[in-house]
Structure 1
Amino acid sequence: MSPSRRIVAALNPSASSGRGRLVGPRVVEALRAAGHEVTALAEADFAALLAATRAALADGADALVVVGGDGMVHLGLLALAGGEVPLGLVPSGTGNDVARGLGIPIDDTEAAIAALLAALEHPAQRIDTATITGDGIPASRFACILSAGFDALVNERANGMRRPRGRSRYTIALLVELLRLRPIDYRLVLDGVEYRERGVLVAIANNRSFGGGMLVAPDAQLDDGLLDVVVVRPLGRLAFLRIYPRVFAGTHVSDPRVVVHRAARVRIEAQGVVAYADGERIGPLPLDIAVEPGALRVLA
């Protein structure tokens, strides 16, 4: 058995619309039963939890464990700020795509906790992350995927809706945006090479999936030092509805209207588009994204 570790545990009791509220206490209980010293944090909002997590890490920690979905991984990245403290994850959110990419069980809390405890017995692994910078927005990072197209428009609309709650809100937002579907003119600069693309979706991927298992970048790898830039060129509504289910299997990339580039540095520009990364709102384009090879140590 490994020696006792000082662990900061950041918990999101509202994960998966509140269905994950019992997972956090169970994780803390299991870590303490294994002999680890745990500082458990739960706050009313993202900003307060981020501040509390940063303060706890500043007091000294051997690991940060987040309990929730991809938004909690995003919080972990911001709190760690590129340091050497490893990040552990017990998924209890709606999407859980970072957990999918790391091979962490997503539908079995006890299995995910067992995987975390086992990972604490071994050296942490390293994966890539990516930085995001842009005019007028705080610098940020992501581990999964930055989206700036149809999916981001759906997120933006859903976040502006007060009702209904849960996934049905996103379904309604998706249908509304589908009716408004229109191509977007993008300017991409990939490792210094300019591309002009017209499309309905651009995803800049460090991980394979987003949106709860949508394999938008099926060949992306978390540790290859590159970002997969997926462009879906203009589609009509009917064609979009035909290709959309294929994203869950990753077979959409065989369609000639889907183009995949790879780059270490990306600049993305478009009018009236707000980007999301790891499910969190980042801000309007233009943005600059740069991969950070091996920047995050993970307990997986």
Structure 2
Amino acid sequence: MRVLVRNPNSGDRATSKRAATLAEKRGFDVRDSTARGETRTLAAEAAREPDVTQIAACGGDGTLNEVVRGVADADALDDVELGVVPAGTGNDFADNLGVRGVEHAFEVLARGERRRLDLGWVAGDERPFVNSCVGGLTAESSRKTSPAAKKRLGVLAYVLRTLAETRTFEGLELDVRAGADDDASSGSDPSRERGDRLWTGTALMVLVGNGRRFPGERMRQANMEDGLLNVVVIERAPTIDYLARGAADRLLRRGASHLTRLKVPRLDVRHAGDPATFSLDGETLSRTDITLRSRPGAMRFRVGEGYDPAPEEWGKSKGN
């Protein structure tokens, strides 16, 4: 049996309704969430049913995160094939999979190539991120963007909130280190030694990606099959007027000295101050210390023809 878990309130309601109609015509059992957090519960319940072979999330990146989290709760990531039908405010992961819209999503779910994809994981909290974990300016913007604004303005709501935050956000005092070299990176032992220091200083943002597109030339996509997290630390650049036209291009341009890029299997980020806001696929949490790791090949997905399993490689660098 194939199940579509849908958040009717995510993104464009008309698109979500069309997706439900298409799903029913294709034999999916459509299950709608009616309360916050229920998407995760519905996914976990479906994953525990012995005849369920495929679970697709209908919504945005946040809905997909909840579905994957539910399947992980059921300890069924190895048993259930996952999919996504893009109908949310942010659909970055669907784009990365080569899914070009609602109708195409169902073609991919039926006939797409099967791939094993990495899963980002927050140790200690034991919760996943399929696309990215972001700390700093954009995470604060995500936290302060109201559901009403997201529904009315879509992605523009995040942009407007980020512009409002830019002049008052002071940055994060971060110490970024490689995680432990063994499974102690789960965070269960707070006394464990932290790994080598990779970066320290004041950051405007830290972007940790499993599948997100990254700042720089052609917005290079992270490799979702290499067992590594792609990291970009963005320092505050005092010469940039953040509200000026083209500020984002100058801030994120390839070769900028205030960008540091890393590729690591595990990462430990500490903030010297009050808990900082981190956004996991659009859902926020506050931490002074967060440990992230990659779970290689943990998810089974079908992908579209436009999926690139080995995008342009990049490693540790400063200003590249």
Counterpart-to-counterpart distance in 2, 1:245 and 1:89: 30
1:175-205 superposed Cα distances (whole Å, 9 cap, x missing partner):
2201213232101112421131321010111
> What's 1:282 paired with?
285
- Once the two structures are superposed, the pairs formed by residues 89-108 of structure 1 within 5 Å of their partners are 89-105=84-100, 108=101
- Cα displacement (A) at 1:207: 1.4
> What's 1:143 paired with?
130
Specify which of 175, 180, 187 is matched with residue 168 of structure 2: 180
Counterpart-to-counterpart distance in 2, 1:103 and 1:298: 12
More deviation, 274-283/213-222: 213-222
Give secondary structure in 2 for the equivalent of 1:52.
Answer: helix
Give secondary structure in 2 for the equivalent of 1:253.
Answer: coil
Give secondary structure in 1 for the equivalent of 2:34.
Answer: coil
Note if contact 1:132-1:287 (Cα within 8 Å) is conserved in structure 2.
yes
Unpaired segments ≥5 residues, structure 1: 1-5, 33-37
- Specify the code of the residue in structure 2 equivalent to 1:170: Y
- Specify the code of the residue in structure 2 equivalent to 1:197: G
Q: Provide closer, same or farther for how the CA distance between residues 216 and 287 of structure 1 changes in structure 2, counting only shifts above 3 A.
A: farther
Specify which of 31, 34, 50 is matched with residue 41 of structure 1: 31
- Cα displacement (A) at 1:246: 6.0
Q: Provide closer, same or farther for how the CA distance between residues 58 and 288 of structure 1 changes in structure 2, counting only shifts above 3 A.
A: same
Q: Is the aligned partner of 1:14 residue 2:18? A: no
- Cα displacement (A) at 1:98: 0.5
Counterpart-to-counterpart distance in 2, 1:216 and 1:165: 29
> What's 2:299 paired with?
296
Work out the number of aligned pairs and report it. Answer: 277
Note if contact 1:145-1:207 (Cα within 8 Å) is conserved in structure 2.
yes
Q: Provide closer, same or farther for how the CA distance between residues 74 and 222 of structure 1 changes in structure 2, counting only shifts above 3 A.
A: same
Q: Provide closer, same or farther for how the CA distance between residues 219 and 100 of structure 1 changes in structure 2, counting only shifts above 3 A.
A: closer
More deviation, 45-54/124-133: 45-54
Counterpart-to-counterpart distance in 1, 2:53 and 2:21: 20
> What's 1:54 paired with?
44
Q: What is the alpha-carbon root mean square deviation over aligned residues?
A: 2.7
> What's 1:129 paired with?
119
Note if contact 2:172-2:204 (Cα within 8 Å) is conserved in structure 1.
yes
- Specify the code of the residue in structure 2 equivalent to 1:228: N
Counterpart-to-counterpart distance in 2, 1:7 and 1:283: 35
Q: TM-score, normalised by structure 2?
A: 0.78
Note if contact 1:127-1:296 (Cα within 8 Å) is conserved in structure 2.
yes
Q: TM-score, normalised by structure 1?
A: 0.83
Q: Is the aligned partner of 1:230 residue 2:225? A: no
- Specify the code of the residue in structure 2 equivalent to 1:144: N
Note if contact 1:216-1:230 (Cα within 8 Å) is conserved in structure 2.
no
Give secondary structure in 2 for the equivalent of 1:20.
Answer: helix
Counterpart-to-counterpart distance in 2, 1:216 and 1:269: 30
- Cα displacement (A) at 1:63: 0.8
